[in-house]
Amino acid sequence: MKAWTWERYGPPDVLTLRDVDEPGIARDEVLVRVRAASVNPYDWRHLRADPHLVRLSIGLRRPKAGLVLGADLAGVVERVGEEVTGLRPGDEVFGEVPLGAFAEAVAVSPRTLAVKPAGLSFERAAAVSMAAHTALQGLRDEGRIAPGQRVLINGASGGIGTFAVQLAKVLGAEVTGVCSTRNLELVRSLGADDVVDYTGEDFTERDERYDLLMDIVGDRSLAGLRRVLTPRGTLVIVGGIASTSRLLGPAAQMLRGALASRFVGHRIASVAWKPNAGDLRFLAELMEEGRITPVIDRTYPFTELPEALRHLERRHARGKIAITF
């Protein structure tokens, strides 16, 4: 089968499309024939070892031999291990793997898969897992969002942000989205009650106060973010689109947040998304009911994966970037 592998850390040019053996499956795994995937900052961070912290898990000097890049996927179950219940060959599924999705087939644990809604294309289904899990777990589990709360999403037009705006509305909040001028209409169309154009206004200087602030960008100081929180408000740190720390990446702001949370009145929490079948089923229901929908910026063929990553690395994707096989 064809798969995208990399033997040294670097830009998308270091990726090679190779013929590799199809993966075997463990007793508790299924083999998925991949029909679509999507790209996440997680992918280019692994590709470049940016931040350096990535090296601890996939190879200090170079990526361990045989690794295939890619997390988010949608496809068709081809084989199931003896211990697998609930999935059968022919089932159409979506979800994610730690690595290996940018290949024609991948072994996946059913714990991170769910049956794809029939009316949802493979392309859209592949855009869901990492971004929507992060948005949902950030709002619901870390943010403890409640109906009627005022919620601000900084980074509302990207992969996570487009899900976060829709999910915060589903969960009953009044939502403000921060994005640039060209994305104001998109963010409004996703349900945002108010939008802030960061090219003309600094939201941390606003007179408004928010019960929950989800920061996906990481371009503001903790003091600035806390300034627009209500006295008992919560800051949820998700990521660092604008992060510049080569050692820790977005984790730098999370560490600062963890430290500060001991000394300030606000709750400051960080998200570490945990893909799971229960949340995927919840997201599938919302998509079936038409209450949320994956926003696709562009779709690239499998053979043009490096180009898709270059587009994502510019950090101005509108929603998700999909890969079709």
**Residue 179 within binding range of ligand NAP, rule CB under 6 A:** yes
**Residue 204 within binding range of ligand NAP, rule CB under 6 A:** no
- 48-64 in b/e form (b: 16+ CB < 10 A) is bbbbeebeeebbeeebe
Helix, strand, or coil (residue 282): helix
Size of the site for ligand NAP (CB under 6 A): 35
**Residue 308 within binding range of ligand NAP, rule CB under 6 A:** no
Span between the terminal Cα atoms of the chain, in Å? 12
Q: Among 272, 281, 291, 303, which residue interacts with ligand NAP (rule: CB under 6 A)?
A: 272
Q: Among 239, 275, 294, 306, which residue interacts with ligand NAP (rule: CB under 6 A)?
A: 239
- Distance, CA of 107 to CA of 28 (rounded, Å): 10
CA nearest to 112, candidates 30, 221, 33:
30
- Distance, CA of 302 to CA of 102 (rounded, Å): 8
**Residue 159 within binding range of ligand NAP, rule CB under 6 A:** yes
CB of 184 to ligand NAP, least distance (A): 9
**Residue 180 within binding range of ligand NAP, rule CB under 6 A:** yes
User: What type of residue is 202?
Assistant: D
* Rg for the chain, CA atoms, rounded: 19
Q: Among 112, 129, 157, 234, which residue interacts with ligand NAP (rule: CB under 6 A)?
A: 157
Residues in CB range of 174: below 8 A, 6 or more apart = 148, 149, 150, 151, 193, 194
Pick between residue 23 and residue 70 the one whose CB is nearest to ligand NAP. Answer: 70
Q: Among 12, 233, 240, 275, which residue interacts with ligand NAP (rule: CB under 6 A)?
A: 240
**Residue 198 within binding range of ligand NAP, rule CB under 6 A:** yes
Of 21-29, 71-79, 119-127, 215-223, the segment contacting ligand NAP by CB under 6 A is 215-223
- Distance, CA of 67 to CA of 110 (rounded, Å): 21
**Residue 298 within binding range of ligand NAP, rule CB under 6 A:** no
CB of 80 to ligand NAP, least distance (A): 29
Which residues within the stretch 108-137 sit at the binding site for ligand NAP (CB under 6 A)? 130-131, 134
**Residue 233 within binding range of ligand NAP, rule CB under 6 A:** no
CA angle (157 as vertex; 154, 162 as ends), nearest 5: 95
Of 58-66, 104-112, 234-242, 256-264, the segment contacting ligand NAP by CB under 6 A is 234-242
CB of 203 to ligand NAP, least distance (A): 9
**Residue 271 within binding range of ligand NAP, rule CB under 6 A:** yes
Number of Cβ within a 10 Å radius of residue 277: 19
**Residue 250 within binding range of ligand NAP, rule CB under 6 A:** yes
CB of 209 to ligand NAP, least distance (A): 20
- Distance, CA of 42 to CA of 268 (rounded, Å): 23
User: What type of residue is 64?
Assistant: K
- Distance, CA of 86 to CA of 107 (rounded, Å): 16
**Residue 153 within binding range of ligand NAP, rule CB under 6 A:** no
- Distance, CA of 207 to CA of 211 (rounded, Å): 14
Pick between residue 211 and residue 297 the one whose CB is nearest to ligand NAP. Answer: 297
Binding residues for ligand NAP, per CB under 6 A? Answer: 40-42, 130-131, 134, 154-155, 157-161, 178-180, 183, 198, 216-217, 219, 238-242, 250, 271-273, 312, 315-318
